[in-house]
Chains A and B, each alone.
Chain A
Amino acid sequence: MTESVLSLPDKEYMLPGNRTCAGCSLGIAYRHILKALGESTIVTVPASCLTVLHGMYPITSVNIPCMNVTFPSTAAAAAGLVAGLKAIGKKGITVVGFAGDGGTHDIGIQALSGAAERNTDFIYICYDNEAYMNTGGQRSSSTPLGATTTTTPVLGKAQHQKDMPAIMAAHRVPYVATASSSYPLDLYEKVKKARDIMGTRFLYISTPCPPGWLFPPKDTVKIGRLAVETGMVVLYEIENGGFRLTGASERLAAKGSLRPVREYIELQGRFRHITKDQIEELQRWVDSRWEEYLARQTPRPPDYSTLQN
């Protein structure tokens, strides 16, 4: 079923008056993710901007049970929740590990890889704001080429982003999807779909960050949309190994053209030091990745969900 603005549930699990920065895309994404997951959910969160959103003891701004855990251990903690709930005989609870790019691409990758290899029955959601935003915007392995961060302050980052969804797809988990906070309906559908699949499900969500990427808070949705329209972020899902472009990316593929990366870059202060060569390199990176995606269509995917965790 295709969702519309009118078909989304009314109930808000993320409550207003929380600690996120004005214009935080994580707020948009989290609202709709929780709507899709519903109340029979337990989330586990490491140190991250989401910890800030969740509030400070003794008040939380979220109506879903949550267990905070150490920075590297999100996926292992999720595995513990799954094992614990099974051991005590509680059924029907969706376990979700929810971390940022630092907590996923960098310090959390070992636990995540372990949990995925064991096909732990949980959803892992990485929201990617492309740096350690909660600690002041330091470089992560998901920071794009040419972006200035507080630890690449003069020259900008010299490498491309780590392709985390591809790493997760290489684990042959039943479901891998990418989404963007600027496309909440596509995101909602993917989370809902993931909820009903068994085994490890990985969702990657692009979440633009106004104070970190240096653009005005009002432009959060616009920047996220431009990321997709320029191919910096590509929306797809890989179901049992079968790849397909989805939503806006699928439409762009049908139309046959991406907007130039320059249009995305010039609106963000973090790219103020990017060189002409780096922009060209970034464009080549986007183009070659896009070509790869276009070429990857699986007619009949296998079914990994039958492999027991």
Chain B
Amino acid sequence: MKKTANNTQIITGNYAVALAAKLSRVQVVAAYPITPQSPATETLSQFVEKGELDAEYVRVESEHSALAVCIAASTVGARTFTATSANGLAYMCEQLHWAAGARLPIVLACANRAMGAPWNVLNDQQDSISQRDTGWIQIYARNSQEILDSIIQAYRIAEKLYVPAMVCYDGYILSHTVMPVEVPRQEQVDRFLPPYKPHTVLDPSTPQNLNLVTLANPRRDARGVMCHGYMELRYLLQEALENSLETVVEVDREFGDVFGRSYGGTHWGYRLEDATLILMAMGSVATEATVAVDQLRQRGHRAGLLALRVYRPFPKQDVISATKRAELIVVFDKNISYGYEGATCSDLKAALYGNSIQVPVHNYIVGLGGRDVKARELADAAERSLRWAEEGRPQKEVEWLNCHI
């Protein structure tokens, strides 16, 4: 591990976001205010106005337009950045689809916040989970350092595959909490992250038209070459997302070589080696769950944690390998797919049960709208799940933790 600890700053997650964008030499920033994301983009505007970052900062009138600006600027070859939260991300929805369909490697930081109605500015992950199927890579960070490093990594991943990437970090819990962060040197980042090259140049010298109406079936171009139909283009996007699993791991490893820090690629574990009781979570809940694992170990359970770092693409094989000794898996979701269960729980079950691994999975919906999640509560919940499994799973498979209804 290389030691470069001489540039450690005590900063919030939002400040780490701004620093990461600056270090990535973003060329166009477009953003609209929303709590708890705002300090990140305020800081970026400061960098630009002070001349510390040579970028165009477009102070748009909505999140929809923020992503429109990024889409257009990315199309002509500029590295673009935006950040948002909750309803802002939801307002971007059609643009998220558009960015992925146009294969533009935009990076977006999402300070996770609960969706209205009713209004709530505090954290859960319903916002980004709701945008799961837009074709974006989703990375969930656990602390300010990982936020900063993941954004730099996200540009490498996105620009290699021409797929947009979202770095998610829990609102307030990470966005507004100060932590020590080792800030990489610009030259190091420049070596790690080469300039962005667009896949298609939109320029008057070669007049092309991007994203016209595309038919269901393939169609020949004027020279007679058979070109894709809509479905083939969608297949290529899916293929890129699938390939991105490998790219995420590669980029994380290379990042480790250069900066001395890496994050386990698609996932990370805590005391997993001999664990038979496995807790699964994402983002800051995963950090909290490490403490719960220690408590469960003290109570005599062989507990461990599997934390998802990348939610899309879903690291199916990694999840299967990481849980192969599991006798029970307890999934904590800071989101709910209404009418079913937590989103990561469904994906885990699909990965396991589709491969004939019949381990019981118990799901807790936790921390919605900023409801506090304590390590002890997670540990107690895991013990309840043990009893649930022993008793032949009598109650519901999905429970709401700390819900006093």
Q: What residues of A have a CB within 8 angstroms of the CB of B202 in the complex?
A: 42, 65, 67
Asked whether any CB of chain B lies closer than 8 Å to the CB of A153, the reply is no
The verdict on A273 contacting chain B, using a C-beta distance below 8 Å, is no
- In contact, B72 and A65 (Cβ under 8 angstroms): no
User: Pick the contact of A41 from B27, B55, B65, B204 — CB < 8 Å?
Assistant: B204
Contacting residue for A65 out of B58, B69, B204, B227, CB 8 A: B204
Interface core residue of A60, A87, A111, A117 (most chain B CB under 10 Å) = A87
User: CB distance A67 to B56 under 8 Å?
Assistant: no
In the bound assembly, the distance between CA atoms of A81 and B70 in angstroms comes to 9
Query: Which residues of chain A in 38-67 are interfacial with respect to chain B, using CB atoms and an 8 Å cutoff?
Result: 39-42, 44, 51-52, 54-60, 62-67
- A65 and B198 alpha carbons, distance in the complex (Å): 15
Judge whether A80 is part of the interface by a CB distance below 8 angstroms.
yes
When distances are taken between beta carbons in the complex, the residues of chain B under 8 Å from A65 are 202-204, 206-209
Inter-chain CA distance A87–B177, complex, in Å, is 33
Given A85-B76, A87-B73, A114-B60, A73 and B68 contact (CB-CB distance below 8 Å): yes
| Neighbouring B residues of A69 by C-beta, 8 Å | 68, 71-72, 98
Q: Pick the interface stretch among B138-146, B215-223, B306-314.
A: B215-223
Contacts of B207 in A (CB 8 A): 39, 62-66
Which of A56, A63, A118 meets B59, CB within 8 Å? A118
Q: Give the contacts of A71-88 with B (CB-CB under 8 A).
A: 72-73, 75-81, 83-88
Residues of B within 8 A of A40 (CB): 204
**A81 CA to B72 CA, complexed, in Å:** 5
Residue A300 at the B interface, CB < 8 A? no
Report the nearest A residue to B211, measured CB to CB. Answer: A68
Q: How far is the CA of A62 from the CA of B225 in the complex (A)?
A: 19
Cβ 8 A contact of A73, one of B56, B65, B215: B65
**Cβ of B277 < 8 Å from any Cβ of A?**
no
Cβ-defined contact, A84 with B78, below 8 A = yes
Q: Does A151 contact B (CB under 8 A)?
A: no
- Complex-state Cα separation, A68 to B94, whole angstroms: 13
A14 to chain B, nearest CB (A): 12
Q: How far is the CA of A114 from the CA of B212 in the complex (A)?
A: 26
Name the one of B65, B78, B213 contacting A76, with C-beta atoms under 8 angstroms.
Answer: B65
Q: Does A159 contact B (CB under 8 A)?
A: no
- Least Cβ–Cβ distance between A46 and chain B, in angstroms: 10
A118 touches which of B58, B204, B211 (Cβ 8 Å): B58
Q: Which of B55, B202, B209 has the largest number of chain A CB atoms within 10 A?
A: B209
Q: How far is the CB of A117 from chain B (nearest CB, A)?
A: 8
Answer whether A39 and B204 are a contact pair too, CB < 8 Å, given A79-B65, A83-B56: yes
Encode B51-68 as 1/0 by CB contact (under 8 A) with A.
000011011111011101
C-beta contact mask, B190-209 vs A, less than 8 Å → 1, else 0?
Answer: 00000000000011101111
Q: Is the CB of B204 within 8 A of A84?
A: no
Asked if B209 and A55 sit within 8 Å, CB to CB, the answer is yes
A110 within 8 A of B: yes
- Cβ–Cβ < 8 Å partners of B68 in chain A: 69-70, 73, 76-77, 79-80, 111
B256 vs chain A, min Cβ distance (A): 31
Asked whether A80 lies within 8 Å of B209 as measured between CB atoms, the reply is no
Q: How far is the CA of A146 from the CA of B62 in the complex (A)?
A: 35
Q: Could you give, for residues 116-132 of chain A, a 1 whenever the CB lies within 8 Å of some chain B CB and a 0 otherwise?
A: 01100000000000000
Tell me, yes or no, whether A90 is within 8 Å of chain B by CB.
yes
Question: A residues 109-168 with Cβ under 8 Å of B?
Answer: 110-111, 113-114, 117-118
For the complex, is A93 an interface residue (Cβ under 8 Å from B)? yes
CB distance from B243 to the nearest CB of A (A): 24
Residues 222-263 of B contacting A (Cβ, < 8 Å)? 222, 225, 227-228
Please indicate which of the listed interface residues A41, A80, A93 has the most CB atoms of chain B within 10 Å of its own CB.
A80
Q: Check A84/B75 contact, CB under 8 A, given A59-B222, A73-B65.
A: yes
- Tell whether, in the assembled complex, residue A93 and residue B214 are in contact, meaning their CB atoms are under 8 Å apart: no
Our pick among A59, A67, A84 for the contact of B210 (Cβ within 8 Å) is A67
Chain B residues closer than 8 Å to A64, beta-carbon distance: 204, 207
* A84 & B77 in contact (Cβ 8 Å cutoff): yes
Known: A79-B72, A88-B27. Is A72-B64 also a contact (CB below 8 A)?
Answer: yes
Verify A68–B227 contact, CB threshold 8 A.
no
The residue in chain A whose Cβ has the minimal distance to the Cβ of B226 is A58
Task: For the complex formed, measure the closest distance between the CB of B325 and the CB atoms of chain A, giving whole angstroms.
Answer: 48
Give the distance in Å from the alpha carbon of A57 to the alpha carbon of B58 in the complex: 31
Assembled-state Cα–Cα distance A39/B203 (Å): 10
Compute how far the CA of A105 lies from the CA of B95 in the bound complex, rounded to whole angstroms. 20
Q: Say yes or no: A56 contacts B215, CB within 8 Å.
A: yes
Determine if B389 is an interface residue (Cβ-Cβ < 8 Å): no
A65-B207, A70-B95 given as contacts; is B213 within 8 A of A88 (CB)?
Answer: no
> Within the assembled complex, what's the spacing in Å between the Cα atoms of A59 and B223?
10
Q: In whole angstroms, what is the CA distance A83 to B206 when docked?
A: 20
Q: Which of A51, A57, A75, A117 has the most CB of B within 10 A?
A: A57
The interface bits of chain B over 280-320 (1 if a CB of A lies within 8 angstroms of the residue's CB, else 0) are 00000000000000000000000000000000000000000
Distance from B82 Cβ to chain A, minimum over Cβ atoms (Å): 11
Could you give 15 example pairs across A and B, Cβ below 8 Å?
A57-B219, A57-B228, A60-B212, A65-B207, A76-B60, A76-B62, A76-B64, A78-B72, A81-B73, A83-B58, A83-B72, A84-B73, A87-B27, A110-B61, A114-B62
Beyond contacts A56-B214, A68-B212, A69-B71: 12 other A-B pairs, Cβ-Cβ < 8 A, are: A54-B209, A54-B212, A57-B212, A59-B222, A64-B207, A66-B208, A80-B28, A80-B72, A85-B76, A88-B76, A90-B203, A113-B61
Q: Across chains A and B, which 5 residue pairs bring their CB atoms closest together, nearest first?
A: A80-B72, A84-B73, A114-B61, A76-B65, A76-B68
